[in-house]
Structure 1
Amino acid sequence: MKPTAIRVMLSSALLCTATSAYSATVQLPTQTVLGASDDSRDLSLPLARSTLFADDLSTAHLGANLSESLQRVPGLLALNRQNYAQDVQISSRGFGARAQFGVRGVRLLQDGIPLTMPDGQGQPALFDLDNLARIEVLRGPLSSLYGNASGGIIQGFSSEGSFYPTLESRSSVGSDGLWRSRLKYGAQYGDLNVAANVSRLETNGYRDHSDTRRDMANLRLGWDIDDASSLTLLFNALDQPDTQDPLGLTAAALDADRRQAVAQAERFDTRKSISHQQLGMNYQRRLANDDQITVMVYGGERDVQQFLAFPGNSQYSGGGVIELDRRFGGSELGWQRDTALFELPVTLAAGLSWGYQGEGRKGFVNQFGRKGGLQRNEFNRVESREAYLISTWQLAPRWSLTAGARYSKVNFDSDDKYLVDGQDDSGSVRYDETTPALGLSYQWTPTLSVYGAIGKGFETPTAQELAYRPGGSGLNLQLRPSTADNAEVGFKLRRDRTQVDMALFYTRVDNEIVTGEPQLNTDRSTYANAGKSTRRGVELSVEQQLTSQLTGYLAYTWLDARFDRYINGNGDDLADNRLPGIPRHSLYAELAWQPTEGFTTALEMQSLSQRYANDDNSAEAPGYAAFNWRASYRQQLGGWQLEPFARVDNLTDREYIGSLIVNGAGARYYEPAPERSWLVGLDVQYRWD
């Protein structure tokens, strides 16, 4: 969808709203999901949960990348790749570290609507970061109750529009030609609540061949139908044309010029264009017997054109220009009841969900940045069906038990329409798995609880991972889903000035999906199954109010992730090697000072230890520590609110590797982070009381 069309659609939606005000507050209906609860229940949940509120998401940030705030979460690695063609890189306890673009192994949702496709691949750029009230991040065994690719859960919850009509403009400029501008509107009109925003981001990028323009539009309509039911409609649109891709650098290229794009990027004009629109509905009703019913329906379309770094004109290569025409949708019916069984209070939740994605995939020759002849033409379908049951038992005043299971069935089908090579590569594969989980929590004191949990998870290959095999054409139907056995113990402390979370976890994975050898005569990655791997680690977060003006925060993760059994395609035994892309130590620390009302400044530190770039551990990114500074000042002037802000990243001007392309073709593993960079901006808000 073109930016002009987005603006017209959004303006029309705003103009159609009524102009009368009403005192009712619209409550956002969300699916019944673990962790999507108020803080009063946090101590009784037998899982690791981190919650980031609106101030954590918007304070002196650009507001365009999920990595800006998620770096605060222990156990989670969220890295800005400085490459908008591939989005941010996110992994949870090592799940998803292999992803070369998008997110795998971590499930994404906003307001109960999936941003992860039925095949398990998610797109973090789709989060409406401009209107989030909070983000919840779940880790541990109980996250497997979300189904396929749920090694971790990131779910956003939107803010309601202001009761009084409020218009807000936020603009910022920064290093490397970066600028972003956002316009946001919110109001309550009778029983209808409106929240809408549009934004544009442009940058030349830290590296050569990194030009980007991104337009986004989001609309949320919440309607209180009556005292027992409510309806929320959500619309999201993304338009990102011709985003240049500088590709990863080899070690030699990194030493020569860390800001360069590799020769193939310029020669083949590597770039990606994305157009994405999605509409969702969430309906919630409380019945006469206090049962609660939730109905969620969503659907949309996504079109992608990508120019890769090779011609793709050899046999079976499938082309160096990829065009994807995707239509997707899904639904969920959820039920919840508070009741008693065996004279014990219990909450029961059950549901059925269905998801579909149908994708036309075409491949063309890349004639040095121009689309050439057809090399591949097929239609791929993914369909998922799932059922779940979750129960929370109050065994005693201090003891609670959470138990559940989810059954998932995922079908992949491919119809080959490119038959000029004399070969029909149509095929299909079916995956199904039941993932049980059990957690027990004990509230030792009113402010301290301990818990333990066990569970099983699974992750199917994504459609992209199935799409190519090392030699020959057609789907890689030999690729199997990975399964994980998870265990965790932890404690939570909640006091007026202190908040502490600690978790110890162990995970054993069978059939770990890894990046395999490149496809014959191309630089395209293919995927394979390793034998077994193990992850063990510790997560710790501490927030301390040091004085009335000074607050400290620390998030630390120790993670030892290794292959237990793995013979790669060359016959090398890689047992006991560390999983690539995963640091053993990661640390985020922050010291924030608020000397007066409205003014806040903070010093941040992010540190990662050594990370290996490939499975045989022959290439690495050294550890680093980077320091950042931010400041903002909020002032109210009648109906106006002004907030200038500024930040400086990498204060010490250090050169380090921001992210890695795991097992990248041609040893192009490295994506360098910028040296010292700056950002300044102004937020202006006006409210009609």
Structure 2
Amino acid sequence: MNVYPILRTTFLLCFAAWMWQANAQNLFLTGHIYDTQTRQPLAGATIRNNSGQVVAQSDKDGFFRLSQAQATTAIDVALMGYKTQHITIAAEHRDINIQLETDPVQLDEVRVGLNSRVNRATPGSIALLTADDIQRGSGMSLQSALNTVPGVRMDQSTLSDSRISIRGNGVRSPWGSRAIKVYINDIPVTETDGTTRIEALDVNNIGRVEVIKGPASSIYGAGTAGVINFQLQRAPYGERSLEVSGLTGSYGLNRTATTFRSGGDKVNSYVAYGWQEYNGYRLHSNDMRRFITGNFQFFPNDKQIITVLVSRTTQHSQIPGALTQTQVSENPLQANVTNVDKQAGRYQNWTRVGIGQQYRLSDKLTNSTSLFSYFYDLNHPLAYAYIRNYYQSYGGRTRFTYDPGFNMFTTVFTVGAEFNQGLTKGSQYVNEHGLEGAINANIDNQNTFYSLFYQSETALGPKTLLTLGLGVNSLQYRVRDYLAPGQSGVKRFDPQATPRIALSHTFHEALSLHASVSTGFTPPTGSEIKTVDGSINPLLQAEKAVNYELNAKGGLLRSRLSYDLAIFRMDMSGELIAQAVQQGITIYHNAGKTGHRGAELALSWLAVDEADSRWIQRLRPFAAITYSDFTFIDYKIHDADDRVTDVFDGNRLTGIAPWVINAGIDFNTKMGLYVNCNYLYNDHLPLNDANTVHHPAYHLLNTKIGYARVIRKRFKAEIYGGVDNLLNQRYSSFVALNAVAYGGGQPAFYNPSPDRSGYGGLNVSFLF
């Protein structure tokens, strides 16, 4: 018997087994660490094994590497500003993509901006809101969450009417918001003519909000007020669940929703469907919404991230209209008689589609590009007209980030562009008791916007950062009037440059100082460029602003007390002044100069955290204080013949309260019980440019209590209830500024807000 072949085979098998075992010890587990919401790579995250030993740290690209021997069976990933993530390592894991969720307590440590710097070290006034902040109330509106940001104001009476302003800019908009650029997952919500309506957003799907106050960012194009970046929720890493939720409350409030979440290494999926209805506090204020949202993230390889967004929203809302002071005193529940007779409302369907890609071209060069399309149909009976609009837009946004790796004065460069074109096909009819009458307008508006931007961040020293930015923006309106061809035309705004310079220095974790000078501009919207006869006003120009700001951020008391103090001065010129010529017709002039001087302070104190107590997980008081000294410097009202009729120099800016204080407390226990309380003081504010009529100061107190628990690792349940306006204050959050009375009556300034109201809800999740 020849044993040689047998011995040779045995030797080869043993050698192969030995080599496999040796290689197994040297196999590397690699991965990337990202911010769940922004998809930014997170540098400096520590990875610990089962024994608590640090075995790796992520680099500037969020990349880490460790052997299976180091990793053992599980790892913990930790980074200041984010929740620690515990991950079980499966045998098949070779490359993983870990996504960290923002810690709502340590927001000054969260990475913001293009180059992923911690908020405390980023120049400019940037505020962050998390899903916890949004869900502090009923989750039906963003109003309570946005109003916790100093300098930001969201006015809302019914769910169909809302208006956002930042540092006084945008408050004079008669409907929707202007002067603010709004994005959702890098897709513009702001239409090409500069107007924004956020009703298409399902509040419960928002995972994070980043607010840049003032013209502090040259990379987002035109806008004197600032920028709001919404990020939709993503599935928590490693979770796969199906949630069913229900909410009911005062005045016929009902909502049901179903949400699927799957947070894997290669695909992150978030799909939600929601239905809600609200009969309304006042007559003729019913609001119905249906939402469906799909938010997906794909990791095809270690260099590429692909995101896909698809959303569809249906809104059917009645508009009760503004009331006079006498009507409010008699019965705040009533609706404007004309609005009821004309069946005023907004019936609309929105669709938004976007696809984006982040690609690491090399160790020094990355690119982020998104393509999007946004369209809606609007059926809009008003008190003095019946409007039908069809809107569609498309565009894209791209930016390249380059780090040349300088040995001295390390600099990161960013260049990019944004393009957006929108077409509105609009018809206007006589409103005959809620039905379309004779047509009186048939107009197409094609608006084109583009922006080119540059930004560099240079480290002048280990703790000193110089930021330079420049944006070049252009806008064109093309109007085609089918019934009055002579009023057709083109309005081109000359390209505008918006430079910015900022210098920041970190002295200690207790103090970072930032100083900046920035510029911005806001073109007139499509509804503001018309003259009395409906033709384009060739003389109308953009509003311009120069902003000077000093900002201090830091953490005291072992970083438990976070503060953010901003002192600013913004000079506005060429401000648009509205002149009501007759009912339904308003014209505008560049005749205003205003001075915006103010101070904003945000405080957050982690009084107790989970390491301090056996029972308490978190006890956090917070406060936001805003002081606004906004005045007219050169403000004159013109009539249709351009004659000066009134001079309001020195008056306070209409619609802005000198003092606003928003304070609250979050209390969470380890057993799952939580309590949220929020208090708002809003000072008296002028309702007209003449400052002869004021809305009195008011106080609001809201509270919410709930209990959340995981049951047998398979089910997660939450039950909650709350009361808004606990003090039962009578006030109007959304006011019609400079309302004009026709026929000798009182002006209708007021849209009464709800009195004391309650709600309750239940969420149940099945964990796969």
| Common topology (TM > 0.5) | yes
**By how many angstroms is 1:127 displaced?**
3.2
Q: Distance in 2 between matches of 1:573 and 1:275?
A: 43
What's the CA shift string for 1:178-220, capped at 9, x where partnerless? 1111211111467222111111110111111101111111101
Distance 1:480 1:141, change over 3 A: closer
Name the aligned partner's letter for residue 147 of structure 2: Q
Q: 1:292 to 1:45 in 2, by over 3 A?
A: same
User: 1:679 maps to which residue?
Assistant: 759
TM-score by structure 2 length?
Answer: 0.81
Corresponding residue to 1:194 among 269, 278, 282: 269
Q: What amino acid does structure 1 have at the position aligned with 2:424? A: E
Evaluate the alpha carbon distance shift between residue 475 and residue 597 of structure 1 in structure 2; reply closer, same or farther with a 3 A threshold.
farther
Match of 1:324 in 2: 389
**What is the match of residue 314 of structure 1?**
none
Where 2:486 maps in the other structure, the secondary structure is: coil
Map of 2:565 onto structure 1? 502
Q: Distance in 1 between matches of 2:601 and 2:587?
A: 36
Once the 2 structures are TM-superposed, how far is the Cα of residue 374 of structure 1 from its aligned partner? 1.0
Q: Is the 8 A contact 1:144 1:151 kept in 2?
A: no
> Does residue 125 in structure 1 map to residue 161 in structure 2?
no
Structure 2 counterparts to residues 133-172 of structure 1, below 5 A: 133-162=207-236, 163-172=238-247
User: How far 1:574 sits from its partner (Å)?
Assistant: 0.8
Q: CA deviation at 1:531?
A: 2.4
**In the superposition, relative to structure 1, how do residues 38 and 132 fare at CA in structure 2: closer, same or farther (>3 Å)?**
farther
Q: 1:411 to 1:342 in 2, by over 3 A?
A: farther
- Taking structure 1 as the reference length, the TM-score comes to 0.90
Aligned AA for 2:752? P
Q: Does 1:270 align with 2:344?
A: yes
Q: Which amino acid aligns with 2:523?
A: T
1:54 is matched with 131
1:396 has 2:456 as partner: no
Q: Which has the higher contact order (CA 8 A, sep 6+)?
A: 1
Matched residue SS, 1:124: coil
| Equivalent runs, 1:43-442 vs 2, <5 Å | 43-59=120-136, 61-82=137-158, 84-86=159-161, 88-162=162-236, 163-188=238-263, 191-241=266-316, 243-310=317-384, 320-340=385-405, 343-419=408-484, 424-431=486-493, 432-442=495-505
Aligned residue type for 2:635: Y
State the 1:299 CA deviation. Answer: 0.5
Question: Tell me, which stretches of 5 or more residues in structure 1 are unaligned?
Answer: 1-20, 29-33, 311-319
1:619 aligns with 2:690: no
- CA contact under 8 A between 1:130 and 1:197: conserved in structure 2? no
Residue in structure 2 matching 1:559, options 619, 628, 633: 628
Separation (CA, whole Å) in 1 of partners of 2:403 and 2:116: 19
Distance 1:684 1:425 in 2: 58
Give the alignment of 1:540-559 within 5 angstroms. Answer: 540-548=601-609, 549=616, 550-559=619-628
Tell whether 2:580 aligns with 1:517: yes
Please give the residue correspondences for 1:552-631 in structure 2 after superposition, counting only pairs within 5 Å. Answer: 552-569=621-638, 571-631=645-705
SS of match in other structure, 1:506: strand
Whole-Å separation in 2 of the counterparts to 1:184 and 1:147: 34
**Structure 1 pair 39–57 and aligned structure 2 pair: CA distance change class (3 A):** farther
Whole-Å separation in 2 of the counterparts to 1:455 and 1:490: 14
- What is the rounded CA distance, in whole Å, between the counterparts of 2:375 and 2:191 in structure 1? 12
What's the offset of the Cα at 1:38?
Answer: 8.7
Alpha-carbon distance, 1:477 to partner:
4.0
Cα 1:158–1:332, aligned 2, differ >3 Å: closer, same or farther? same
Q: Deviations over 1:429-488 (max 9, x none)?
A: 11121000111001011332011000110001111222x43x322334443210001010
User: How big is each residue's C-alpha offset from its partner over 1:577-631, in whole Å with a ceiling of 9 and x where there is no partner?
Assistant: 1121111111100023234431111321111111111222222211111111111
> Is 1:450 aligned with 2:530?
no
| 1:71 Cα deviation from its structure 2 partner | 1.4
Q: How many residues align?
A: 643
Taking only the aligned residue pairs, the percentage that are identical comes to 25
Asked if structure 2 preserves the Cα contact closer than 8 Å seen for 1:524 and 1:665, the reply is no
Once the two structures are superposed, what CA deviation does each residue of 1:390-411 show, in whole Å capped at 9, x if it has no partner?
Answer: 0001001111011100000000
* Contact 1:487–1:506, Cα closer than 8 Å, also in 2: yes
Which of 444, 459, 462 is the aligned partner of 2:525?
Answer: 462
Please say if residues 622 and 664 of structure 2, whose CA atoms lie closer than 8 Å, have aligned partners that are also in contact: yes
Supply the distance in 2 between the matched residues of 1:537 and 1:164 (Cα, whole angstroms): 44
Q: Structure 2: how far apart are the matches of 1:346 and 1:95?
A: 33
* 1:598–1:525 Cα change, 3 Å: farther
Where does 1:11-50 land on structure 2 (aligned, <5 Å)?
24-25=96-97, 35-36=112-113, 41-50=118-127
Aligned to 1:668: 748
* Residues 1:170 and 1:664: Cα distance change in structure 2 (over 3 Å): farther
Between 1:140-149 and 1:676-685, the stretch displaced more is 140-149
SS in 2 for 1:154: strand
SS of corresponding position for 1:300: strand
* Coordinate RMSD, CA, aligned: 2.0
Rounded Cα–Cα distance in structure 2 between residues aligned with 1:190 and 1:397: 35
Mean alpha-carbon deviation: is it higher for 509-518 or for 550-559?
A: 509-518
Question: For residues 740 and 489 of structure 2, what CA distance do their matches in structure 1 show?
Answer: 27
The SS at the match of 1:275 is strand
